Chain A
Amino acid sequence: MSTEHIRNFSIIAHIDHGKSTLADRLLEMTGTISPLKMRAQMLDNLDLERERGITIKAHAIRMSYECPDGQAYSLNLIDTPGHVDFSYEVSRSLAACEGALLIVDAVQGIEAQTISNLYLALENDLTIIPVINKIDLPNARVDVVTGQIVDLLGIEPDDVILTSARDGIGVEQVLRAILDRIPSPEPDDSPLRALVFDSIFDQYRGAVPYVRVMSGEIRPGMDIMMCSNGKRFEVAETGILRFDKAPVDALTAGEVGYLIGNIRNVADASVGDTITDASRPCDAPLPGYREAKSMVFSGLYPAMSEDYEPLKEALEKYQLNDAALVYEPETSIALGFGFRCGFLGLLHMEVVQERLEREYGLTILATMPSVEYRITTTAGEVLMVDNPADMPDASLIDSVEEPFIQAQIVVPHDYIGNIMKLTRDRRGVYKAMEYLDPTRVALQYELPLSEIVFDFYDRLKSISRGYASFDYDFLEYRASPLVRLNLLLNGDLVDALSIIIHKDKAYEWGRELCQRLRKIIPRQMFEVAVQAAIGGRVIARESIRPLRKNVTAKCYGGDITRKRKLLERQKEGKRRMKQVGNVELPQEAFLAVLDIRGEGAAVGG
């Protein structure tokens, strides 16, 4: 097919603004799948994605559409992950397109995420088709939202398409606009350059990259090369993405599809990489490639120590489909053997944990999320530390730097005061405020990443009654007065509960942590001192009174079995606990830390 009749487009939308519903309507209207056969919202095909209403992985599908005038078109919809953690993946998906539908909810209006993704689309020179969805809702504010879009994009109100995807209203106009407004890809027969915008792992065929061919063509039998690492593979199959993979003879410039080439390792099919012809390589790879960078780190431990091997196998298998997850073995005094894992962001971390538990039947203990600190020692050595337990003694530290982010918060102006208080508590630096319409503002802040990995998003939602939306980008490393706060039980360090925290917040955190642990740790045969300390200095202390009595009075009537079983059950209960020195620590202790919610008691550890 000539490129003239190809349209490659993506959909940009905030969660719940109707992206999946509109995509479904397009699939129906182009006859790609019959409504009867369609599971609602076909594009979100992971259970977890359905449940959370977000897209975690990119997906792509080709639709064939015959215009009333008889002309056939190929429409490639490349869906993008719907979360800030995956903004790099989003940018690569957008780079594979010529245009994007910008969907805005007629009630909610523009959100922070919409703006961020819109900027990504504009950076990639995409043609934007603005769509206001859910116009059928009684509280739709079509005029206001149109005003927001017009201001943001500098376009005419007439360019905005009004739809109710649920009822099928306006969908045909959207389809028409895709054909009319989005440019077709340029033909280009220079050497092969294909952009990898996603990949999946097939247990029989290895890593399967999803690509947009930018120039040249790719066909079975060819030797290809990955520009990032120079690795070569022979192409066994090329094809296009329907609901299944459909093999085709070749993919040429402008087309979207997949290729199979016995690529064993997903890391060799990483998002953003350029695939070229090994025998006739391109001059330069496509711009914008970078390696996946972990932003948030956490230790994952099996709740039961005998589940270490199963956890290891689960991580290995999981990583085949998610090259962004990195992990290495680590050991904790309190938790035993586990893995230090790096994630793209908070959601990515939650998703990985949840899927490991759900799909592999494991119970996992996760330590507090941490960011990666840059520590310069007095000896002039620079260390990157993502585990508080690895932070050197204060006397050996010259300076500590932490990652800062550029945050964008969109919120109705009634809540500005609340947002300012929250961001101040989280050590935020106010940069700018812009009115999107008379009632909504976009606020710009610089914030330490450590202050948002922990309970920021939930707080933001609760202080704005759910109206605030939030997005961020990495900014830079900045020096901060950070200390390592340790938790001790009867003098023994519980390494998994150590955190790196701003010194002004250490006292409150320490106090709260000690109080919580006092409530969670069951009384034992001896007194337990719960202490929070910075270096050798104890800053908070609680004590757990010892148990005074635990004895069954009678042990006769010959029923020794019952007695033995009673004690064996007590013993079994203890086996589920983690032993720190002579103290038995229930697993809840490690979870309780995750929901310390004292106002201002945010952490960086």
Chain B
Amino acid sequence: MAGLYIHIPFCTHACPYCDFSFELLRDGRVGRLLAALEAEAERRGREPPWPDTVVDTVFLGGGTPTCLTDRQLDRVFRMIHDSFRVDPDAEITVEANPETVRTSKLRRLRALGVNRLSIGVQSFSDEILRRLGRRHTADQAVRAIVLAREAGFENVNLDLMFGVPGQAALDWADTLERAVSLDPEHVSVYGLTVEPGTEFDRMEKEGLLGLPDEARHVACYYQALDRLSTAGYRHYEVSNLSKPGFACRHNVSSWNGGDYLGLGPSAHSHVAGRRLANTRGLADYLSAMDARGEAIDMDETLTVDERIHEYILLRLRSVEGMDTGVFRDRFGDDAMGKRDPAIHTLAEEGLLAERGSRICLTRKGLALADSVCAYLM
């Protein structure tokens, strides 16, 4: 079993905080991308282990996959099925932005087998959406969810964002209430991170951004965890909560060290301890595909230490934590033993909890996940 990720880099406009690989949607570009994706899928699909692997999760991310036309989406799915063996019960997710969602497109996606829709709502406050540079309104977000339900989506995720400049405690509380009232199966709550090179980064450096302070940021995070838990959502990863049985299988599998193949610009793959990535920009991706039929620009086989580091960071980000017994089996007693004092310190400081053979981040530790993981590396 394995995952398949396809990166559709197009957006109708640039969001000032986003540092994912994206391109503005223009005529002609989509066609060239799809042709390249088809070539890449065909080539990879013939290489081991893919001919003998059943794909049980598919994820169309971006960018904004839903800004493709119906016919373009058809092509993507034809390509998937032509090159890979997709499990009939596979989880198939597509990311969507509210302003790109129409009933006809949602129906088309359902018809193509898509059973999970991840909607980039971010906020139910028009003021906050404006600050985030989003093109949709709160009403459009609500309508997108209603339409998704009408089209038959029974597994819907909402992306919500906190720590946004100008976001008052009440704004965030209101956004959480409205999210809960819409009853999605899954919610991702992201603290705004100012990434280097983004418009927000420039504004921050010029002192124009006005981010909420750390205490406020963390309070919003806990507020979300509390409100959503009360509403029956289970917190399963730093930023992710779902109703029982609705954790995102695609992501969970990749965090558990499962194999996945990524197609398209900037897409990453993982096959049996080997990590690969395609070149980031669309133009570079297209020319690499033209020239050599592939676009890999990173290919690393992890050293033992790197595997340990990866394991720690992935396991600790999951709320169930890391099983020290499994760690010991995989990496040996020494690797575990030399981390015992650090684990002890972190536990004493209330950042890690020891539950039987498992260690996991406490509530306080979740907000410091990066520091804690680095401390244990």
Q: Which residues of A contact B (CB under 8 A)?
A: 524-526, 547-561, 563-564, 566-568, 570-571, 574, 582
- Pairwise interchain contact B267-A558, C-beta atoms closer than 8 A: yes
Residue from the list A551, A556, A582 in contact with B366, Cβ < 8 A: A551
- Pairwise interchain contact A553-B191, C-beta atoms closer than 8 A: yes
- Pairwise interchain contact B371-A558, C-beta atoms closer than 8 A: no
A574 contacts across to B, CB distance below 8 A: 374-375
- Pairwise interchain contact B300-A550, C-beta atoms closer than 8 A: no
Cβ of A567 to closest chain B Cβ, rounded Å: 5
Residue from the list A526, A552, A556, A559 in contact with B370, Cβ < 8 A: A552
What are 6 A-B pairs at a CB distance below 8 A?
A526-B351, A549-B214, A560-B313, A567-B370, A574-B374, A582-B349
A553 contacts across to B, CB distance below 8 A: 190-193, 238-239
Flag whether B372 is at the interface (Cβ < 8 A): yes
B238 contacts across to A, CB distance below 8 A: 551, 553, 555
Q: Which residue of A lies closest to B219 (CB)?
A: A548
If A558-B5, A568-B309, A582-B345 touch, does A549 touch B268 (CB 8 Å cutoff)? no
Flag B138-172 by CB within 8 Å of A: 1 or 0 each.
00000000000000000000000000000000000
**Which chain B residues (11-54) contact chain A, with CB distance < 8 Å?**
20
- Pairwise interchain contact A557-B268, C-beta atoms closer than 8 A: yes
Cβ of A492 to closest chain B Cβ, rounded Å: 12
- Pairwise interchain contact B239-A554, C-beta atoms closer than 8 A: yes
- Pairwise interchain contact A570-B309, C-beta atoms closer than 8 A: no
A550 contacts across to B, CB distance below 8 A: 367-371
Residue from the list A525, A547, A551, A561 in contact with B268, Cβ < 8 A: A561
Residue from the list B267, B275, B369 in contact with A551, Cβ < 8 A: B369
- Pairwise interchain contact A567-B193, C-beta atoms closer than 8 A: no
Residue from the list B191, B217, B237, B374 in contact with A567, Cβ < 8 A: B374
Residue from the list A558, A563, A566, A570 in contact with B260, Cβ < 8 A: A558
- Pairwise interchain contact A571-B377, C-beta atoms closer than 8 A: yes
B369 contacts across to A, CB distance below 8 A: 550-552
Interface of chain A, helix or strand or loop or mixed? loop
- Pairwise interchain contact B349-A564, C-beta atoms closer than 8 A: no
Known contacts A550-B369, A557-B266, A561-B268, then 10 further A-B pairs from the complex at CB < 8 Å, ordered by chain A residue: A524-B371, A525-B351, A525-B368, A549-B218, A554-B190, A554-B193, A558-B270, A561-B277, A566-B370, A574-B375
Cβ of B256 to closest chain A Cβ, rounded Å: 11
Q: Which residue of A lies closest to B373 (CB)?
A: A567
Distance between Cα atoms of A119 and B196 in the complex (Å): 66
Distance between Cα atoms of A570 and B374 in the complex (Å): 6
- Pairwise interchain contact B267-A525, C-beta atoms closer than 8 A: no
If A549-B368, A551-B191, A567-B373 touch, does A557 touch B277 (CB 8 Å cutoff)? no
Give the 5 A-B residue pairs with the shortest CB-CB distance, closest first. Answer: A558-B268, A553-B190, A570-B374, A551-B369, A550-B371
Q: Which residue of B lies closest to A561 (CB)?
A: B275
Q: Which residues of B contact A (CB under 8 A)?
A: 5, 7, 20, 61, 190-193, 214-215, 217-218, 221, 237-239, 251, 254-255, 260, 262, 266-270, 275, 277, 298, 300, 306, 309-310, 313-314, 317, 345-346, 349, 351, 366-375, 377
Distance between Cα atoms of A548 and B371 in the complex (Å): 10
Residue from the list A524, A526, A551, A561 in contact with B367, Cβ < 8 A: A551
B370 contacts across to A, CB distance below 8 A: 550-552, 566-567, 570
Distance between Cα atoms of A557 and B349 in the complex (Å): 32
B345 contacts across to A, CB distance below 8 A: 582
B373 contacts across to A, CB distance below 8 A: 567
B377 contacts across to A, CB distance below 8 A: 567-568, 571
Q: Which residue of A lies closest to B298 (CB)?
A: A561
A559 contacts across to B, CB distance below 8 A: 266, 268, 277
Distance between Cα atoms of A549 and B215 in the complex (Å): 8
Distance between Cα atoms of A388 and B293 in the complex (Å): 68
Cβ of A387 to closest chain B Cβ, rounded Å: 28
- Pairwise interchain contact A558-B254, C-beta atoms closer than 8 A: yes
Cβ of A580 to closest chain B Cβ, rounded Å: 13
Residue from the list A524, A555, A558, A566 in contact with B317, Cβ < 8 A: A555
- Pairwise interchain contact A567-B313, C-beta atoms closer than 8 A: yes
Distance between Cα atoms of A566 and B374 in the complex (Å): 9
- Pairwise interchain contact B367-A549, C-beta atoms closer than 8 A: yes
Distance between Cα atoms of A542 and B351 in the complex (Å): 23
A564 contacts across to B, CB distance below 8 A: 306, 309-310, 313
Distance between Cα atoms of A559 and B310 in the complex (Å): 11
Interface centre among B61, B266, B317, B374 (most CB of A within 10 A): B374
A524 contacts across to B, CB distance below 8 A: 371
B251 contacts across to A, CB distance below 8 A: 556
B193 contacts across to A, CB distance below 8 A: 552-554
Distance between Cα atoms of A563 and B193 in the complex (Å): 14
Distance between Cα atoms of A566 and B366 in the complex (Å): 17
A554 contacts across to B, CB distance below 8 A: 190, 193, 239
Distance between Cα atoms of A509 and B366 in the complex (Å): 39
Q: Which residue of B lies closest to A581 (CB)?
A: B345
Interface centre among A554, A564, A571, A582 (most CB of B within 10 A): A564
Distance between Cα atoms of A582 and B341 in the complex (Å): 10
A571 contacts across to B, CB distance below 8 A: 374-375, 377
- Pairwise interchain contact B309-A567, C-beta atoms closer than 8 A: yes
